[in-house]
Structure 1
Amino acid sequence: MDNKKMMHIGIKKGEVGKYVFLPGSPERTEKIAKYFDNAKEIAFNREYRTFIGTLDGELVAVTSTGIGGPSAAIAIEELSAIGVDTMIRIGTCASMSPKVKKGDIVVPSGAVKMEGTSSHYLPVEFPAVPNFEILKILTNSLDSQKIKYHTDVSITKDSFYSQTNPERSPVSNTLIRKWDEYIRGGATTTSMECSILFAVGAALGIRTASMLVSATNAKSFEGQEPGDSYDLEDYVIRAGIEGMRQIIKSDKNSKF
């Protein structure tokens, strides 16, 4: 195992440390890695692209997971197998509530499991929640940066278009009813990886959390336009980088 590259992510034990960012898009790995010291790309296989570097002298990495649950679970499993124990998803989400505006930061306190991947790891009754210690450090970091954020429940879905255009599905009535029930219960955003990250992380005994930026206003599904003057991805990446610095600092302090 020590000298063998993992089948999908293409890296082996010793090439990364214990801290990893998990964006979806391979292109986003570059945007995150530019904030590392001594950043370099070490692998790119399928949807899995990895850069390493350092933050405050600590080895960190960023690995893309692609879109959705199955590919994210593979990345999480293989990274855990080579020694990673702290994974932070950095990415975008869509607002399902007027409470969350386009450009707002979201640190989900839990996720609705509207997907099938997590059922391969934990019973359906087991909640999909981030590691509380990491959640607290990330929100404290945002407070110190004076950044507004939300910590509500998010919805993790398996299908993008059955949400944006549910009427095309034969089970549209069921889909629309479920979305309404989730929102009435207090869920405010949606994405495609959070519950998988939280559930697989719990099953493997590692620390996970997510920091997202809303790319839309409530139920608009329009996202950021190419000509928008403010880079929403960079906004959440910079906030996440600072959050990871605080996690590293907290871990170092806890050793003394």
Structure 2
Amino acid sequence: MKDIEKARQGLSDAETGGIATEGFTVPDMGEYALLPGNPRRISLMAGQWDEGTSKEYDLNRGYRACTGAYKGTPLTAMSTGMGGPNLELPLTTMAAAGVNTFIRVGTTGAIQKGIQIGDIIINDCNVRLDGTSRQYVMEEYPSAASPEVVMALIQACENLGFKYHVGVGCTTASFYAGQSRASFGGYKRQDADALYKDLQSANVLNYDMEGAALFTLSRLFGLRAGMCASVIVQRETGEAYEDGGEARACLVGAEAIHILTRWDKEKRKQGKKYLCPDIMK
């Protein structure tokens, strides 16, 4: 594991944000991590992992974390809060500690007909309306998930028997105005509905608030990332309920890490850098 202090050696707290990252160290993080938004999901995930392996941590600034094992595979989870700015801190801190593969697990709102409440959406890329990613790189830079992580998430859904969809998402910096919802007092931008329709026409599947930041930063840092989210809102029909969606998404993420670990071992065994179908024959 790469030590956080060594990774930032010679830099001041002003340069590294060291004061902000105090209280974020978790022992035995390993290389694979799940990123739920809501800190409440940490305990839910710990209950899904192998009995007696999970250890939960209360961190600075309301974040929570857990280490443990799923089907014998070591993994870590850390909450990110809501939105790209909140995700940036745990992502960079965990990367400095040696984590190289991240999967966001959470909930989402679907904007296409035919997607049902409880379905899993696997975004392989995201429209960058988040704000955070724009602070790092030009707007033309793509926000794309790692193909290997996407394939592992697909296989996880197949293994678990969950209905899923794969495609483009839209990450916003606002829960209300950014997702074409009316805000306090009914305030709504005049072009909000037009943007919603444009996204639908472009075959965008869903809204979220973290995916673009996760994918863009992971690409810039040379890390692997993916995301899966359970649909709890169907904007076209007006349906909105949780129905165990959080638990399904968290389970898919853990299963995907179990799959990725096996694939990574096979790549190393065969001396390959990337996964291809022939490797698994």
Give the alignment's TM-score, normalised by structure 1. 0.89
Residue aligned with 2:34, SS: strand
Asked whether 1:168 is paired with 2:182, we answer: no
Aligned pairs (5 A) from 1:49-198: 49-162=64-177, 163-165=180-182, 168-169=187-188, 172-198=189-215
What is the rounded CA distance, in whole Å, between the counterparts of 2:118 and 2:19 in structure 1? 36
**Residues 56, 102 of structure 1: alpha-carbon distance in 2 compared, 3 angstrom cutoff:** closer
- Residue of structure 2 in register with 1:2 after alignment: 3
- Cα distance per residue 1:184-205 (max 9 Å; x no partner): 1100211111111101111111
By how many angstroms is 1:133 displaced? 1.1
Asked whether 1:242 is paired with 2:255, we answer: yes
Residue aligned with 2:142, SS: coil
By how many angstroms is 1:234 displaced? 1.2
Question: Retained in 1: the 8 A contact 2:4–2:93?
Answer: no
User: Bigger shift: 81-90 or 48-57?
Assistant: 48-57
- Residue of structure 1 in register with 2:11 after alignment: none
By how many angstroms is 1:13 displaced? 7.3
- Cα distance per residue 1:34-66 (max 9 Å; x no partner): 222310113422232111112344431110000
- Cα distance per residue 1:184-236 (max 9 Å; x no partner): 110021111111110111111100000110002234666326xxxx4121122
Amino acid at match of 2:56: E
Larger radius of gyration: 2
Amino acid at match of 1:48: Y
What is the rounded CA distance, in whole Å, between the counterparts of 1:47 and 1:112 in structure 2? 28
Question: Retained in 2: the 8 A contact 1:41–1:52?
Answer: yes
- Residue of structure 2 in register with 1:29 after alignment: 42
By how many angstroms is 1:75 displaced? 1.4
By how many angstroms is 1:14 displaced? 5.0
Question: Retained in 1: the 8 A contact 2:118–2:244?
Answer: no
Amino acid at match of 1:183: Q
What is the rounded CA distance, in whole Å, between the counterparts of 1:3 and 1:114 in structure 2? 30
Please provide the CA RMSD for this pair: 2.2
Candidates 212, 216, 220, aligned match of 1:203: 220
- Residue of structure 2 in register with 1:214 after alignment: 231
- Residue of structure 2 in register with 1:40 after alignment: 55
User: Bigger shift: 9-18 or 113-122?
Assistant: 9-18
Instruction: State the aligned residue count.
Output: 250
Residue aligned with 1:122, SS: coil
Question: Retained in 1: the 8 A contact 2:42–2:56?
Answer: no
The runs of 5 or more residues in structure 2 that have no matched partner are: 6-17, 270-281
Residue aligned with 1:147, SS: coil
Residue aligned with 1:30, SS: helix
Give the alignment's TM-score, normalised by structure 2. 0.82
The share of aligned pairs that are identical, in percent, is 26
What is the rounded CA distance, in whole Å, between the counterparts of 1:59 and 1:173 in structure 2? 49
**Residues 244, 9 of structure 1: alpha-carbon distance in 2 compared, 3 angstrom cutoff:** farther
User: Bigger shift: 159-168 or 7-16?
Assistant: 7-16
